[in-house]
Amino acid sequence: MQKATLQNNQVIYEAKGYTFKFKDNAKVYYQTLIARPNHIEVLTNNTKYDDKQLATKIIDKWFAEENELIREHNNAKRRESNAKKRGK
C-alpha cells in the first residue's frame, strides 16, 4: 500500500518497507518538475536496497507515469517556443 500524508507541513510518502519525502517540500507542488532520485530523501529503509538504489526505484514506482506526461508537455511547449522564434 502506498500513501502520502501531511505531517508538520511536509508530505511524507509511505510504502511497505520505506518512507521518503522531497528534500525541498516546495517541489511537491511543482507542476513541471520531472522527479529525480536526487530530489528525494529516504527517511526509513527496510528493504534489500541501499538508499541510492531505493531512491531510483521510488522514482520508477511512484513518479514514472507523471514524469512522462510532464516530459511530453515540457517538450511540446519547447517545440512551440522554438517554432515561434524561427518564425520571427
Q: Which residues pair with 14 in a beta bridge?
A: 3, 19
Report which of 56, 70, 60, 61 is spatially closest to residue 27, judged by C-alpha positions.
70
Q: Is a pLDDT exceeding 80 seen at residue 88?
A: no
Longest dimension (CA), the chain: 56
- The set of cell numbers assigned to 58 is 521510488
Q: What is the mean pLDDT of residues 74-81?
A: 91
Q: Compute the average pLDDT of residues 63-87.
A: 91
Task: Check residue 84 and give its pLDDT.
Answer: 86
Reported as a single tens digit per residue, the pLDDT across 4-41 is 999 999 999 999 999 999 999 888 888 889 999 999 99
d(CA 63, CA 83): 30
Instruction: Look at residue 31 in the predicted model and tell me its pLDDT.
Output: 85
**What's the chain's average pLDDT?**
93
The pTM of the full predicted model, rounded to 2 decimals, is: 0.81
31's grid cell: 507542476
